[in-house]
Structure 1
């Protein structure tokens, strides 16, 4: 019986941790005004007939806060990389200087910052919903156990504490991201 209880609690904790990790991945994709290599992380290029992530055919760096520099390992890849960036539809206009592909990241307008903050809030709310669903699943499993009512109540309280802790972490992550987005 002890193993079943540990399994339920550990499963709920792992599911809630996964919701946090997923939120962090989602928020990395929301641009906060300064250039980062992850902005082109979703770009795929045609490398000898197969779709390959940009990071596997070129070195991506940010020499300053407003520029992304993409240095391909083969010079012939420059037009292919430019086409890949256009096809990814990420809102950037690549330029090349014969050696590398340069992307100038325009500063965000106030309206765009507010839209990005809304996106971040929506992602955080989805993570909260996921955590609450994990709590519900764990509580349903606890109710199905043949143990005393006192022990069930105690376990449900433990799951609620874990839920509250994860919701608090989500709020902290969101507050940090909103501050990052709204900072000019």
Structure 2
């Protein structure tokens, strides 16, 4: 029983770290990344769909993305979606190809983005601590039902704390790597 609780807690903490990595892809660094436009939704054929479902997105060089719609009639809606997004980028259209040029980040903007990264890291740590709290509560519930001894509970709580410490260390490493990537000119 206790091993299942520990494995579940470890899996949920790993998902929190993976969610952090996914969220940090959206934070713009000096380099172009297709993950930058993953959240953009385009009004197509009567519904909002992700940009990746109506166009091919590729990185042409370190500072630009190329978006090639599969349907020529989608150029206008894609431009509108990009302008309406919070990326602050202006699309350049040449025929059926849309190019997004990423300007260099200013030092002030880099610091602001570093704060965003740190905030995302804190959110991930809170999620991990919530998983720890839930796991510890499940172990205590087993004690109330007299399915485990108090020694088992103490050992399980120590193990859960070790798992939590490792997960928080992983979050710190991910955040530090992203901040270094941001501050690199």
TM-score scaled by structure 2?
0.93
Aligned mates of 2:159, 2:108 — CA distance in 1: 42
In the TM superposition, residue 88 of structure 1 has moved relative to its aligned partner by: 2.0
State how 1:11-160 maps to structure 2 within 5 Å: 11-145=8-142, 146=146, 147-160=148-161
SS at match of 2:57: strand
Aligned mates of 1:112, 1:59 — CA distance in 2: 29
SS at match of 1:126: helix
In the TM superposition, residue 128 of structure 1 has moved relative to its aligned partner by: 0.8
In the TM superposition, residue 180 of structure 1 has moved relative to its aligned partner by: 0.5
In the TM superposition, residue 7 of structure 1 has moved relative to its aligned partner by: 2.5
For structure 1, the residue ranges without an aligned partner over 5 or more in a row are none
In the TM superposition, residue 140 of structure 1 has moved relative to its aligned partner by: 1.6
In the TM superposition, residue 67 of structure 1 has moved relative to its aligned partner by: 0.9
Aligned match of 2:178:
177
For structure 2, the residue ranges without an aligned partner over 5 or more in a row are none
Aligned mates of 1:47, 1:144 — CA distance in 2: 51
Aligned mates of 1:183, 1:162 — CA distance in 2: 32
Aligned mates of 2:20, 2:134 — CA distance in 1: 20
Alignment root-mean-square deviation, CA: 1.2
TM-score scaled by structure 1?
0.93
Aligned mates of 2:96, 2:149 — CA distance in 1: 71
Aligned match of 1:5:
2
- Higher mean alpha-carbon deviation, 9-18 vs 173-182, is at 9-18
